[in-house]
Structure 1
Amino acid sequence: MKIIFFLSLMITFICFIIILLLNLISKKTFSDREKSSPFECGFDPKNPARLPFSLQFFLIAVIFLIFDVEITLLFPLIITLKISNILSYSFIFIFFIMILIIGLYHEWNQGALNWAY
């Protein structure tokens, strides 16, 4: 038993050393200023950090996240369709869709979807 444990430990150690050596050998060492700089939201990282941020971009991103999360909440409704009562399923689904429509109507009235500022 001790020999099998020792052999498996040695094989693991040898594999670890080989992986480290291959990682060091295979790395590309040239560095480009553009490639090593971060890229976030289309902003140029070389400009000053205190540039005005587009509030419209932020609102559209938040609206996308909200509707994306709500779409993931619809998936369990699809799965439970086979085992639930069709009347209760219909009420839950209509209630959920009505919440989405009311939210979209509210965002539309507040002007969050208008691009002409």
Structure 2
Amino acid sequence: MLKIMTSIVLSLIISMALIMICSIISKKSKNNREKMTPFECGFDPKSSSRMPFSMQFFMIAIIFLIFDVEIIIILPTIKIMQMSELSMWFITTSTFIIILAMGLYHEWKNGILEWSN
């Protein structure tokens, strides 16, 4: 028990010492040269960080992430096909793909996939 307490205290002392040394050594100025220059994309860092963005870009990114995760879910079905009955595998995979198609149809019907309004 003494060894555990000693190692905990020692690790806390070392971490606190490193934090204090880093805070003393680091240069912090409000007008840092790197922060005053524009980003690589050309946006001015002094303006509001709450700049409006295109909702179409956001929705396409969300749809991409959803379908990307669904592809990852579909990939193991090839291995499962070897272990289970073909009819059960076909029903499961078909149901999953039908649900995906219904979601895509819903997004298309609501106009999420239309780029210009």
Structure 2-normalised TM-score?
A: 0.62
Question: 1:92 is aligned with what amino acid?
Answer: T
Which residue pairs with 1:68 in the alignment? 68
- Structure 1 segments of 4+ aligned residues over 4 angstroms from their partners: 36-39
Matched length: 83
For 2:88 and 2:116, locate their aligned partners in 1 and report how far apart those are by CA, in whole Å: 42
Once the two structures are TM-superposed, the CA of residue 45 in structure 1 deviates from its matched residue by 5.3
Unaligned runs of 5+ in 2: 1-32
Describe the shift of the 1:43–1:73 C-alpha distance in structure 2 as closer, same or farther (beyond 3 A): farther
For 1:45 and 1:87, locate their aligned partners in 2 and report how far apart those are by CA, in whole Å: 59
For 2:80 and 2:38, locate their aligned partners in 1 and report how far apart those are by CA, in whole Å: 47
Structure 1-normalised TM-score?
A: 0.62
Unaligned runs of 5+ in 1: 1-31
Describe the shift of the 1:45–1:79 C-alpha distance in structure 2 as closer, same or farther (beyond 3 A): farther
Question: 1:75 is aligned with what amino acid?
Answer: L
For 2:93 and 2:114, locate their aligned partners in 1 and report how far apart those are by CA, in whole Å: 29
Which residue pairs with 1:94 in the alignment? 94
Give the match's secondary structure for 2:63: helix
Which residue pairs with 2:52 in the alignment? 52
Give the match's secondary structure for 1:60: helix
For 1:92 and 1:51, locate their aligned partners in 2 and report how far apart those are by CA, in whole Å: 44
What percentage of residue pairs aligned between the two structures are identical? Answer: 41
Per-residue CA deviation, residues 54-88 of structure 1 (Å, 9 max, x unaligned), is 11111001000000000000112111111110000
For 1:43 and 1:55, locate their aligned partners in 2 and report how far apart those are by CA, in whole Å: 21
Once the two structures are TM-superposed, the CA of residue 50 in structure 1 deviates from its matched residue by 2.5
Give the match's secondary structure for 1:82: helix
For 1:69 and 1:63, locate their aligned partners in 2 and report how far apart those are by CA, in whole Å: 10
Per-residue CA deviation, residues 3-45 of structure 1 (Å, 9 max, x unaligned), is xxxxxxxxxxxxxxxxxxxxxxxxxxxxx949x9766xx6725
